[in-house]
Amino acid sequence: MKGSTVFAAELPWPDYHATVKDGRTPILIPVGSMEQHGHHMPLHVDVLLPTEFARRVAVEIGALVAPPVTYGYKSHQKSGGGNHLPGTTSLDGATMVAVLKDVVKEFARHGVRKLCLVNGHFENSWFITEGIDLALRELRWDGIADLKVVVLSYWDFVDREAIARLYPDGFPGWEVEHGGVLETSLMLALHPDLVQLDRAVDHPPATFPPYDVYPVRPERTPPSGTLSSPKAATVEKGHILLEVCTRGIVAALRAEFG
């Protein structure tokens, strides 16, 4: 690979073409969102985190990182606070699917045959799956049947041992971790200049009924926009997360891509 960058968009096209045309170099696509993350963090947390995990993994496995998808599917009240909150800027499901389908097909056209979508926004999950499914179907119509796509969310690689170290007083559950200890700790480790921990709102984990109501009832979301307290976040916890998630993703992609 010519040049020292792992970011595909930083390469001149001849260097990019030489790297991907034979299908052996994996491409990692971060998929995020523009979504509020409380009073203490910026709106692009869900872009910054998967992009950094993709970069770290790319260095380890000889991959390239594509430009991130910076808008995501609508924030769900019980996992992201809700799409009604200021700053959250979302795509309709059909738009999200169409964008991802086109991007997957384009990389296949370039010659890429190993693709990984690194998700940083929980609500994207099913729309990523649909975009890939439609892309693979249309690629088969064009005679391309050897593209392999891996989809993963970095938090799924946090094992029980790490959870015990991160939450010594008890784990509130992933469903209320929006803007909480996990994301805040990672941001403290990676982008401390973008975190204002003194503005973080300390409150008990949010509780919701076991059903959804539409239009959403804004009063069910904590006023801060976070679903659990970020006050216990630390740089040290961020480094634990970076290590365990990067290690897990690297192992998964080596297993899948060889």
Q: Which two tokens stand for residue 13?
A: 């096209």
CA-CA distance, 163 to 30, in Å (whole number)? 24
Domain count, the chain: 1
Judged against a pLDDT cut of 50, whether residue 151 lies above it is answered with: yes
**Does a structural domain hold residue 159?**
yes
pLDDT for res 28:
99
User: pLDDT tens across 4-21, in order?
Assistant: 899 999 999 999 999 999
Q: What is the CATH number of the domain that holds 29?
A: 3.40.50.10310
Region 149-165 average pLDDT: 97
CA atoms within 13 A on the CB side of 112: 25
**Mean pLDDT of the region 35-51:** 98
Q: Calculate the dihedral angle through the C-alpha atoms of 169, 170, 175, 180, rounding to the nearest 10 degrees.
A: 10
184-237 residue pLDDT tens: 999 999 999 999 999 999 999 999 999 999 999 999 999 999 999 999 999 999
pLDDT at 2 over 50: no
Indicate whether 3 belongs to any domain.
no
For residue 175, the model assigns a pLDDT of 87
Q: What range defines the domain where residue 249 resides? A: 8-257
Confidence of residue 3 (pLDDT cuts 50, 70, 90): low
Q: What pLDDT is attached to residue 1?
A: 43
**Is residue 1 in some structural domain?**
no
Alpha carbon 19 to its chain's center:
25
Specify if 119 maps to a domain. Answer: yes
With a pLDDT cut of 90, the percent of the chain lying above it is 97
Q: Which residues are catalytic?
A: 35, 37, 46, 121, 123, 178, 183
* pLDDT tens per residue across span 79-106: 999 999 999 999 999 999 999 999 999 9
SS3 of 27, please? Answer: strand
**Type of residue at 37:** H
